[in-house]
């Protein structure tokens, strides 16, 4: 039932899983939920054994901390640290520690637009909250999976806006999502995410909405009444 390629190749939110299994204490099968909806925390990598250019990305002034700092400023939510990890793209735990995959960075680490979008998606999980007023103990699998997709859609929606605000583009992320989609086994449908077309549409729409909001604000501030007051 669990799509192996998907769970390996896409960032899954242990943070969210933790919240949901806490909220549903009396379900009694929280382990099963974990297996169905997510993955365990990734295995940390030994920094001293990484290629220097990959290790440098995790350093204080490295690209990951730089992007994380911007996201922290945007959201007033600070991450704890960034941990080099194996067999993941990126995920965040319930203490706001970020895990970023070294294999992913070896392949895509030079694409800063992509790194920004990936981290922004994780930030989306960091700031999201579980829907209130749900009877967590009595949700069906379908309802749980629907909530899981909503959570991912929220993270993508936040990512689109944040990418714009940080001055990056969403194109790299869109190409990346399409690449992941091609690697997926079509016989194993993915229940955790909306389909790729929907995810791309969410990213684009939220990026454009933020762009529009800024343009509108600019127009208002540049209107003659403001200029004349100066
Ligand atoms: Zn996610």
Chain segment 4-41, per-residue pLDDT in tens: 333 333 334 556 666 666 665 544 455 555 555 556 67
Break the chain into its structural domains and give their ranges.
4-222
Query: What's the CA-to-centroid distance between 220 and ligand 1, angstroms?
Result: 36
Going from the Cα of 49 to the center of ligand 1, the distance in angstroms, rounded, reads 28
- Please give the C-alpha separations between residue 154 and each of 66, 100, 167, 203, in angstroms, as whole numbers: 23, 20, 20, 10
pLDDT in tens, 68-97: 999 999 999 999 999 999 988 998 887 889
- CA 12 – ligand 1 centroid, Å: 5
How far is the centre of ligand 1, averaged over its atoms, from the C-alpha of 38 (Å)? 10
How far, in Å, is the centroid of ligand 1 from the Cα of 52? 28
Specify the higher pLDDT residue, 182 or 70.
70
pLDDT tens readout for residues 42-58 = 899 999 999 999 999 99
What confidence score (pLDDT) does residue 230 get?
Answer: 47
Distance 149 CA to ligand 1 centre (A): 9
Between the CA of 229 and the centroid of ligand 1 the distance, in Å, is 46
Measure 214 CA to ligand 1 centroid, in angstroms: 26
């Amino acid at each position: 039932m669990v799509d192996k390629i998907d769970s390996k190749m896409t960032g899954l939110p242990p943070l969210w899983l933790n919240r949901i299994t806490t909220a549903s204490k009396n379900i009694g099968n929280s382990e099963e939920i974990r297996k169905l909806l997510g993955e365990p925390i990734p295995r940390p990598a030994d920094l001293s054994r990484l290629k220097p250019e990959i290790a440098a990305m995790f350093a204080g002034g490295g690209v990951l901390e730089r992007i994380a700092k911007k996201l922290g400023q945007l959201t007033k939510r600070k991450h704890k640290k960034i941990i080099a990890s194996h067999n993941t793209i990126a995920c965040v735990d319930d203490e706001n520690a970020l895990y970023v995959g070294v294999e992913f960075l070896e392949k895509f680490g030079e694409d800063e637009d992509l790194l920004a979008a990936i981290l922004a998606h994780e930030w989306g999980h960091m700031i999201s909250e579980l829907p209130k007023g749900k009877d967590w103990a009595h949700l069906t699998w379908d309802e749980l999976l629907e909530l899981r997709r909503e959570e991912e859609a929220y993270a993508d929606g936040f990512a689109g806006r944040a990418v714009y605000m940080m001055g990056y583009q969403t194109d790299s992320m869109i190409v990346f999502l399409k690449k992941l989609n091609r690697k997926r086994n079509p016989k194993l449908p993915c229940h955790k995410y909306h389909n790729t077309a929907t995810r791309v549409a969410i990213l684009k729409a939220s990026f454009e909405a933020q762009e529009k909001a800024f343009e509108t604000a600019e127009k208002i501030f540049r209107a003659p009444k403001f200029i004349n007051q100066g």
